[in-house]
């Protein structure tokens, strides 16, 4: 069966072990008989025009592209509650740790021009979709395994970094995993990969992990203000935070989906971080 936007979504959900599309993932303009696909981490109006220019039948983004994928993005942050509870954070404390972040993202989306990108795709008649959380779930399993792969009984934070850096997506990339709190020489201790929760949980979520036994926490990224807040928290003393690097870490989760589409016969043109 030739690829359609719906079939691509199903392939992504199957790879991630999900039964339905999460709030941050969706089809803006449906398409069928897709052979040539323009894929990028961010796809907006300029890239939609590029897709048309290159004769592509679909523009496939990773990050939310507007519409409900942006307006309801805050809902996927909810996933972080379960992740925190898995290390023993009480549910009420886990919900409190994401409350500000969720409200911030809800307001930001509400204030934004949610129809901008989809309106371009509709006017162009260009099939357009994004797959966010499913790819981040696929990537989290790979990143977590790699993070532990070089850590022996007395392993250090540097061993965690080396494990991540050994993934193909990091080869030759100017962005590498970096320890921004603690030290690469510290023992790694208990490692937790806090990704696939919409976005990073900021200082409050990191504090929750650190107070419940996590020694080395892995985030995709963290804003500087949150890092400063975290460094000032007594709960973070002696703990470690490794930033995986947004683009290479995102690629780790997107590449398995693109490989599956290539197996189905699609030709992929990679742009925007891929």
Residues lying near Fe ion in the complex (CB under 5 A): 136, 250
> Are 55 and 37 a contacting pair, CB within 8 Å?
no
Closest approach, Cβ 6 to Fe ion, in A, equals: 22
C-alpha separations of 82 from 76, 79, 88, 196, 264 in Å: 11, 6, 10, 11, 34
> Are 32 and 4 a contacting pair, CB within 8 Å?
yes
240 or 272: CB nearest Fe ion: 272
Instruction: Report the C-alpha gap between 257 and 254 in whole angstroms.
Output: 5
136 or 204: CB nearest Fe ion: 136
Closest approach, Cβ 246 to Fe ion, in A, equals: 6
Closest approach, Cβ 135 to Fe ion, in A, equals: 6
**CA-based angle 27:12:263, to the nearest 5?**
110
Closest approach, Cβ 253 to Fe ion, in A, equals: 6
**201: part of which helix (H) or strand (E)?**
none
Closest approach, Cβ 145 to Fe ion, in A, equals: 17
Using only the alpha carbons of the chain, give its radius of gyration: 19
Joined together, the tokens standing for residue 171 give 């080869």
Instruction: Using DSSP bridges, classify how beta strands 240-243 and 267-271 pair: parallel, antiparallel or unpaired.
Output: unpaired
Task: Find residue 216's DSSP bridge partners.
Answer: 191, 240
Across 150-266, where does the E strand assignment appear? 178-181, 191-193, 216-219, 240-243
Q: Which residue has the tokens 């911030």?
A: 104
215 or 250: CB nearest Fe ion: 250
65 or 156: CB nearest Fe ion: 65
196 or 214: CB nearest Fe ion: 196
Closest approach, Cβ 62 to Fe ion, in A, equals: 6
52 or 221: CB nearest Fe ion: 221
Instruction: Report the C-alpha gap between 159 and 152 in whole angstroms.
Output: 8
Closest approach, Cβ 69 to Fe ion, in A, equals: 13
57 or 177: CB nearest Fe ion: 177
Instruction: Report the C-alpha gap between 135 and 247 in whole angstroms.
Output: 13
Roughly how many angstroms between the first and final C-alpha of the chain, as a whole number?
Answer: 26
């Amino acid at each position: 069966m030739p690829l359609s936007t719906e079939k691509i979504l199903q392939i992504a959900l199957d790879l991630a072990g999900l039964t339905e599309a999460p709030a941050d993932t969706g089809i803006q303009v449906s398409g069928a008989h897709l052979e040539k696909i323009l894929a990028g981490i961010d796809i907006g109006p300029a890239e939609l025009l590029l897709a048309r220019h290159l004769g592509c039948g679909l523009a496939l983004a990773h990050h939310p592209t507007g519409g409900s994928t942006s307006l309801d993005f805050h809902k996927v942050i909810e996933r972080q509650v379960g992740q925190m509870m898995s290390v023993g954070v009480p549910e009420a404390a886990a919900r409190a740790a994401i409350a500000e972040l969720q409200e911030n993202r809800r307001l930001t989306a509400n204030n934004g021009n949610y129809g901008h990108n989809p309106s371009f795709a509709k006017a162009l008649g260009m099939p357009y979709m994004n797959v966010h959380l499913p790819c981040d779930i696929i990537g989290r399993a790979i990143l977590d395994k790699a993070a532990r792969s070089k850590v022996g009984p007395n392993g250090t934070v540097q061993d965690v970094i080396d494990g991540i850096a050994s993934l193909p997506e990091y080869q030759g990339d100017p962005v590498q995993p970096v320890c921004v709190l603690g030290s690469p020489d510290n023992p790694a201790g208990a490692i937790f990969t806090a990704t696939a929760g919409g976005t990073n949980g900021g200082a409050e979520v990191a504090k929750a992990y650190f107070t419940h036994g996590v020694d080395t926490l892995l985030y995709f990224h963290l804003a500087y203000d949150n890092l400063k807040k975290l460094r000032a928290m007594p709960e973070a003393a002696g703990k470690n935070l490794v930033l995986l690097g947004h683009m290479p870490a995102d690629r780790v989760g997107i590449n398995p989906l693109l490989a599956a589409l290539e197996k189905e016969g699609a030709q992929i043109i990679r742009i925007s971080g891929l």
